[in-house]
Amino acid sequence: MRIRYCLVLGGAGVLAVALGAVKLWPEPVLEPVPVAAFSMPEPLPPPPPPPAPPRRVPVRAVEAVTPPPPPPRETPQVSVARMPPEPMIPEPELSHPPPQYNDDIEPELPQTAQWELDKTARLAALVERDVVRLAREREDAVMQGDYQRSEQIDAMLQRNLEHLRGLHDEIRKLVAVVNGVEPSE
């Protein structure tokens, strides 16, 4: 917001300086023009008459001699730039195009128990963060008297708590597998 005000104020400042410079700029001093300059100028003398065209005298025709043909000129070497081929015009789409087959997806390589444990622990940390945020939002909604919003947040909170319990159970099992201990159910 401050940037907008700075830009507007800066523009107004530049405009004020420009107007002040125009207003305070010294005007050129004009020399007084003598009154004689305003009087009618003397008429110019008339232009001289154009010279008379030269007289043509008819001459008897003598045998016509044809001039020799001009020597043949060498034609200049012209280099022609090679133009790229015109782009191909795409064919119109068919109403039933042939099927396109996708490449096969390589199956995922088997993951180790340690990798699975790390992934699950990271996921549990993210869900815990959401649970804390939702609990705070629910308290804020109750304090503001927005009971409908607090019920919506409570439903999301219960869903995330169930997910978190399932993740903690899975982490316990994976820790037992990584440590080589039989998981107890």
Q: Whole-prediction pTM value? A: 0.40
Residue that is written with structure tokens 């708590």 in the block = 161
> What's the burial of 130, exposed, middle or buried (CB within 10 Å: 0-12/13-18/19+)?
middle
pLDDT tens string 23-55: 887 777 767 666 555 555 566 677 777 777 667
164: which residues sit within 8 A by CB, 6+ positions away? 124, 127, 128, 131
Check residue 162 and give its pLDDT. 97
Cα–Cα distance for residue pair 114/181, rounded to 1 Å: 14
Residue 164 has pLDDT above 60, yes or no: yes
Cα–Cα distance for residue pair 16/10, rounded to 1 Å: 10
Long-range contacts of the stretch 133-136 (C-beta < 8 A, 24+): 134/160
Check residue 185 and give its pLDDT. 55
Position 161 confidence tier, pLDDT thresholds 50, 70, 90: very high
Position 5 confidence tier, pLDDT thresholds 50, 70, 90: confident
Domain residue spans of the chain: 113-179
Position 61 confidence tier, pLDDT thresholds 50, 70, 90: low
pLDDT tens string 15-30: 898 888 888 877 777 6
Cα–Cα distance for residue pair 153/139, rounded to 1 Å: 10
The more confident residue out of 153 and 67 is 153
Cα–Cα distance for residue pair 139/145, rounded to 1 Å: 10
Strands (E), 5-95: none
Check residue 166 and give its pLDDT. 96
pLDDT tens string 96-150: 777 788 888 887 777 888 889 999 999 999 999 999 999 999 999 999 999 999 9
